A and B are shown apart, each in its own frame.
Chain A
Amino acid sequence: MRPRIRTTAAVAVASSLALLTGCGAADMTKQASPFANAKGAKTVTLSVQSWVGAQANVAVAQYLLEHELGYRVDTVQIDEVPAWDALSQGRVDALLEDWGHPDEEQRYVQDKKTIVNAGDLGVTGHIGWYVPTYFAKAHPDVTDWKNLNKYADQLRTAESGGKGQLMDGSPSYVTNDKALVKNLDLDYQVVFAGSEAAQITQIKQFAKEKKPFLTYWYEPQWLFEKVPMTEVKLPEYKEGCDADPEKVACAYPHTPLQKYLNADFAKSGGDAAALLKNFKWTTEDQNEVSLLIAEQKLSPEEAAKKWVDSHESDWRKWLP
């Protein structure tokens, strides 16, 4: 009897395995998040990036999707580059603010066609190096990169080890700063604060004591309203001068920020996809919501509600 039991067991195991996995091929890039569309509710998964501007986009989109269109919205914190991969695999449906990733765009939008561009966010982003305006007024020539080495001594900190400190934020942001410092022969050390929030805390502390600092920063950003900063001129940006990340020696471009959707979601996402495609607002709008979140410490949902209540004419035209 024993051999037969064993065979039956083997057959049972094998067939249940086959049943479980559905034989054939299983394309893991087409497997959505297990938490999506639960209970038949229409669910949209939005990726959030760690900076407040991105939170503002997502908060308003989420508010409208939930309250105007009756969707259930999941948000997942993913940084930009992994978000592209997740977007391609359908694990998130939308990335609302992308700062320019040509490699990923080539791979997923042009070659694999798993992601589609959903148009401008309406906000133009610019990354640069900034010094506080009080420091720039006292030393007007600091705003040209050629003079930065003169000020390296004044910008030294405990973490920068004998050189001037160029403060960078989160490891996930688009940055060429290490290459820039090397290629422009600057006597500076790039110090990563670890996150945008940490960077803001540091900047505020410096500003409180009116100390000089040099930081990687970007527009649009609500902090400019609290700590006025002046951009340091880097060598002019020309098309393609940042093609080789090792050899970059020019400023950052002005980037019209883009929205991207998963290709399947864009096709069959119905009203949600339509709303996200139409979503387009201005720098002022985004800053308004960001300030509510970051300065007044409102929850993203409350901040979005405030904006939505007072800008009905703006978002009405986004609705499908």
Chain B
Amino acid sequence: MATVTAAAPRPAAPGLLARPAVRKLAALAVVAAILVPLAHARWSSGSWPAALTVDVSGPLTDTSTWIIDNRDSHPLFLYFFGHISNAVVLAVRGVYLVLLAAGWAGVTAAAALVAWRVAGWRLAAGTGAAFLACGFLGMWVPTTQTLALMVVAVLASVVVGALLGLVAGLSDRAEKVLRPVLDTMQVLPAFAYLLPVVLIFGIGVPAAVLATVVYAAPPMARLTALGLRGADKEVLEAVESLGATARQRLLTARIPLARKELLLGLNQTIMMALSMAVIASVIGAGGLGDRVYQALASVDVGAALAAGIPIVLLAVVLDRVTGAAGEALGEEPHPHGRRLWLVALAGAVAVSVAGRLVGRLDWPGTWVLNIAEPVNRAVDWMTAHLYSGVPVVGGTADWAGRFTTWVLDPVRDGLQGLPWWAVLLIVAALAWLIGTWRTALTAVLAMAAIGVLGVWKPSLDTLSQVLAAVAVTLVIGFATGVAAARSDRVERLLRPVLDVFQTMPQFVYLIPVVALFGVGRAPAVAAAVVYALPAVVRITTQGLRQVDPAALESARSLGATPAQQLRQVQLPLARRALLLAVNQGVVLVLAVVIIGGLVGGGALGYDVVFGLAQGDLATGLVAGAAIVCLGLMLDRVTQPTERRARKGA
């Protein structure tokens, strides 16, 4: 069980923890000593006993068939879901038509001018260039489709999120109910949200938009509540003493005071919506994600890249512009602010009218730069030369093969070979050592639910990929984090790289790994590592840097070498940050390992894809539920007693 212990953070300072830890373990041992023989006698050991599973695929298939048969006749669909779906279609269509009517020049100009007003000239130029690049890559129409979908999804998410946040911010009881739900929603992989909406709405844009809203609204809600609760008490008292009513207080004091949090919420919501809008191509969202999806299905790396680059550009532009809007809040408003906005508006309209007069609304076909061919040629060259048989180091495919045979296979077989009660015990022990008995109970129940659903084996397969990926992520992440914390120059070099990597949607990571490692479990793990690294590096660096300088100074004066300082002072003092890094790493890795089902990762992700592909929603939904349970379990097992702010996208 080397891997499990590698993935779990060992308490770095046993002296502090020894007593409660020993007590907890002793209690668990007693419980185990009573229950395990009973369980063993009743159901035998080995894989999850068949007697304890409930087959839900029958009822689920019936439900799915019933919905398909009644979608055009049952009042629930005609008068409720039908209207929702219709509103989504109309809204997306409206935005799409506006974007098309503005033409590529108009849209680019409008985006650049908005960026100029919000964030200044440099970002405006960057925004314009990014939009033009989308056109040059031959992706103008998919880009507008994705934009149309995003606009609707973000507006809906902001409204829903802000309303929920308002409720949670004003009422303590609502906060108590909403908080754990929102917390949990944020740790679940995006893939798990797809199936329930498909069940009701079928494949298509409405389902995609709704899944995006469900995924992207929670950060808005959390941050709105946070902002309202964080308002300065004295200001509020002052306003109250002026005789303001509750509503006036809310509108004139609390909401304006929470502007920073609201904008941060908007930023996170936009980033999550983009990430999801792209993944939702699996359920028919169309646009850029669909192009990536099509290209991945035929392992056409060049075409996938041509669609992936616009996604990355959109992500970076949206992140920077909304981020800059947040920073600009505290500053004095520009004296001619309103007039400049008018100038910007007029400019955008003028450009789009000009485009219309010239008759150049569509992106001209001759201006397309075909990058797919050269990229594919490069990939072919790589496959021929780097893929395998490189002297000494071996090729990338050899690494992938070796990683599969020497790491993934043993871990998977080890996990699947463990008696089921042993898995539950390990989960309980880890969760209890790091958290409270409550988190331990949730984790064990989640794990047991996976067994009851009858997907024990594929779930452990997924778990083995997660553990392997987390182990690699933590080794690289901690090493890089330590380096960045010790040297300012390394940190300066790393920062822009981390920024870009942290804003990229999960889907994009699948493209390069397929080119490098082919298809299978190894590329899924590689994508997960790359996706989770930035967060781990960042949290580690921050944690190490926050260590009290006085403690370091005294260690140095005692003659400790740098290695000793690190091991005996910095790491123990930064324990909480390191735990948080582990928690983040696990959550992010799981999200991508699941998506790895699209590139041959197998296990639960494959079941979801299979369910969608065969219209066999029962299989997909069961896998989706198992993913939720696995996410819950992994989060609780690594959850330090109290949380801090987490990465949004």
Binding site for B on A (CB under 8 A): 20-22, 25-35, 38-39, 48, 50, 52, 55, 74, 76-79, 81-82, 84-86, 89, 91, 107, 112, 158, 170-172, 192-198, 201, 297, 299
Known: A35-B145, A78-B284, A85-B68. A26 touches B83 (CB 8 A): yes
- The smallest beta-carbon distance between A304 and chain B, in angstroms, is 15
Q: Is the CB of A81 within 8 A of B201?
A: no
Bound Cα distance A79, B78 (Å):
27
> What chain A residues lie within 8 Å of B68 (beta carbons)?
85, 107
From A34, A50, A85, give the contact of B203 (CB < 8 A): A85
- The smallest beta-carbon distance between A301 and chain B, in angstroms, is 10
- The smallest beta-carbon distance between A177 and chain B, in angstroms, is 13
Question: Does B419 reach chain A (CB closer than 8 Å)?
Answer: no
Known: A21-B87, A81-B615, A194-B519. A34 touches B205 (CB 8 A): yes
Q: Is the CB of A25 within 8 A of B82?
A: yes
18 contacts between A and B (CB under 8 A): A22-B86, A26-B86, A28-B85, A28-B202, A30-B72, A33-B204, A34-B205, A35-B286, A39-B97, A50-B294, A81-B613, A82-B284, A86-B202, A91-B202, A91-B203, A195-B297, A195-B298, A197-B298
Q: Is the CB of B72 within 8 A of A299?
A: no
Question: Does B441 reach chain A (CB closer than 8 Å)?
Answer: no
> What chain B residues lie within 8 Å of A35 (beta carbons)?
92-93, 96, 145, 148, 205, 286
- Ranked nearest first, the 4 interchain pairs of A and B with the lowest CB-CB distance are A26-B82, A172-B613, A81-B615, A194-B600
Q: Is the CB of B599 within 8 A of A194?
A: yes
The chain B residue with its CB closest to the CB of A29 is: B72
Question: Chain B 445-468 against A: per-residue CB contact (8 Å), 1 yes, 0 no?
Answer: 000000000000000000000000
- The smallest beta-carbon distance between B465 and chain A, in angstroms, is 14
Bound Cα distance A299, B610 (Å):
28
**Given A29-B71, A158-B404; 9 other pairs, CB 8 A cutoff:** A25-B75, A25-B79, A33-B286, A38-B100, A48-B294, A82-B613, A84-B615, A91-B204, A194-B519
The chain A residue with its CB closest to the CB of B205 is: A34
Q: Is the CB of B294 within 8 A of A172?
A: no
Interface of B, helix, strand, loop or mixed by DSSP: helix
Bound Cα distance A22, B85 (Å):
13
Bound Cα distance A74, B85 (Å):
21
Known: A86-B203, A192-B606. A81 touches B405 (CB 8 A): no
- The smallest beta-carbon distance between A216 and chain B, in angstroms, is 15
Q: Is the CB of B206 within 8 A of A28?
A: yes
Question: Does B316 reach chain A (CB closer than 8 Å)?
Answer: no
> What chain A residues lie within 8 Å of B203 (beta carbons)?
78, 82, 85-86, 91
Q: Is the CB of B82 within 8 A of A170?
A: no
Bound Cα distance A33, B93 (Å):
8
Q: Is the CB of B86 within 8 A of A82?
A: no
Question: Does B363 reach chain A (CB closer than 8 Å)?
Answer: no
Question: Chain B 392-407 against A: per-residue CB contact (8 Å), 1 yes, 0 no?
Answer: 0000000000001100
The chain A residue with its CB closest to the CB of B377 is: A297
- The smallest beta-carbon distance between A206 and chain B, in angstroms, is 14
Bound Cα distance A214, B305 (Å):
33
The chain B residue with its CB closest to the CB of A25 is: B78
In B147-193, the 8 Å CB interface with A consists of: 148
Known: A34-B89, A35-B145, A198-B600. A82 touches B615 (CB 8 A): yes
Q: Is the CB of B294 within 8 A of A77?
A: yes
In B397-423, the 8 Å CB interface with A consists of: 404-405, 409
The chain B residue with its CB closest to the CB of A158 is: B405
Interface centre among B205, B296, B297, B373 (most CB of A within 10 A): B297
Q: Is the CB of B614 within 8 A of A171?
A: yes
Q: Is the CB of A201 within 8 A of B519?
A: yes
- The smallest beta-carbon distance between A76 and chain B, in angstroms, is 6
> What chain A residues lie within 8 Å of B294 (beta carbons)?
48, 50, 77
Question: Does B609 reach chain A (CB closer than 8 Å)?
Answer: yes
- The smallest beta-carbon distance between A198 and chain B, in angstroms, is 4
Q: Is the CB of A21 within 8 A of B86?
A: yes
Bound Cα distance A195, B281 (Å):
17
- The smallest beta-carbon distance between B615 and chain A, in angstroms, is 4
Size of the chain B interface, CB-CB below 8 angstroms: 64
Q: Is the CB of B204 within 8 A of A89?
A: yes
Q: Is the CB of B606 within 8 A of A171?
A: yes
Q: Is the CB of A31 within 8 A of B202?
A: no
Bound Cα distance A81, B97 (Å):
30
Bound Cα distance A86, B609 (Å):
17
> What chain A residues lie within 8 Å of B609 (beta carbons)?
171
Question: Does B69 reach chain A (CB closer than 8 Å)?
Answer: yes
Q: Is the CB of A50 within 8 A of B297?
A: yes
- The smallest beta-carbon distance between A3 and chain B, in angstroms, is 14
Question: Does B128 reach chain A (CB closer than 8 Å)?
Answer: no
> What chain B residues lie within 8 Å of A198 (beta carbons)?
299, 518-519, 600
Known: A26-B85, A192-B606, A194-B519. A172 touches B614 (CB 8 A): yes
Known: A195-B299, A198-B600. A85 touches B606 (CB 8 A): no
> What chain B residues lie within 8 Å of A21 (beta carbons)?
83, 86-87
Bound Cα distance A297, B613 (Å):
26
Bound Cα distance A186, B447 (Å):
34
> What chain B residues lie within 8 Å of A197 (beta carbons)?
297-300, 519
Question: Does B341 reach chain A (CB closer than 8 Å)?
Answer: no
Question: Does B121 reach chain A (CB closer than 8 Å)?
Answer: no
From B404, B599, B613, give the contact of A170 (CB < 8 A): B613
Bound Cα distance A55, B298 (Å):
10
Question: Chain B 291-310 against A: per-residue CB contact (8 Å), 1 yes, 0 no?
Answer: 00110111110000000000
> What chain B residues lie within 8 Å of A78 (beta carbons)?
203, 284
> What chain B residues lie within 8 Å of A52 (beta carbons)?
298
The chain B residue with its CB closest to the CB of A77 is: B294
Bound Cα distance A52, B71 (Å):
33
Question: Does B578 reach chain A (CB closer than 8 Å)?
Answer: no
- The smallest beta-carbon distance between A139 and chain B, in angstroms, is 27
The chain A residue with its CB closest to the CB of B302 is: A297
From B90, B372, B610, give the contact of A171 (CB < 8 A): B610
From A27, A91, A170, A172, give the contact of B78 (CB < 8 A): A27
Question: Does B45 reach chain A (CB closer than 8 Å)?
Answer: no
Known: A91-B284, A171-B613, A198-B519. A85 touches B202 (CB 8 A): yes
> What chain A residues lie within 8 Å of B78 (beta carbons)?
25-27
Q: Is the CB of A201 within 8 A of B606?
A: no
> What chain A residues lie within 8 Å of B519 (beta carbons)?
193-195, 197-198, 201
Known: A28-B71, A201-B518. A82 touches B83 (CB 8 A): no
- The smallest beta-carbon distance between A48 and chain B, in angstroms, is 7
> What chain B residues lie within 8 Å of A85 (beta carbons)?
68, 202-203, 615
- The smallest beta-carbon distance between B455 and chain A, in angstroms, is 16
- The smallest beta-carbon distance between B432 and chain A, in angstroms, is 35
> What chain B residues lie within 8 Å of A196 (beta carbons)?
297-298
> What chain A residues lie within 8 Å of B518 (beta carbons)?
198, 201
In B62-89, the 8 Å CB interface with A consists of: 68-69, 71-72, 75, 77-79, 81-83, 85-89
Interface centre among A35, A38, A55, A76 (most CB of B within 10 A): A35
Question: Chain B 325-339 against A: per-residue CB contact (8 Å), 1 yes, 0 no?
Answer: 000000000000000
Question: Does B612 reach chain A (CB closer than 8 Å)?
Answer: yes
- The smallest beta-carbon distance between B230 and chain A, in angstroms, is 29
Bound Cα distance A154, B181 (Å):
52
The chain B residue with its CB closest to the CB of A55 is: B298
Known: A171-B606, A194-B519. A299 touches B372 (CB 8 A): yes
Interface centre among A21, A78, A82, A172 (most CB of B within 10 A): A82
Question: Does B319 reach chain A (CB closer than 8 Å)?
Answer: no
Question: Does B376 reach chain A (CB closer than 8 Å)?
Answer: yes
- The smallest beta-carbon distance between B606 and chain A, in angstroms, is 7
From A32, A89, A299, give the contact of B202 (CB < 8 A): A89
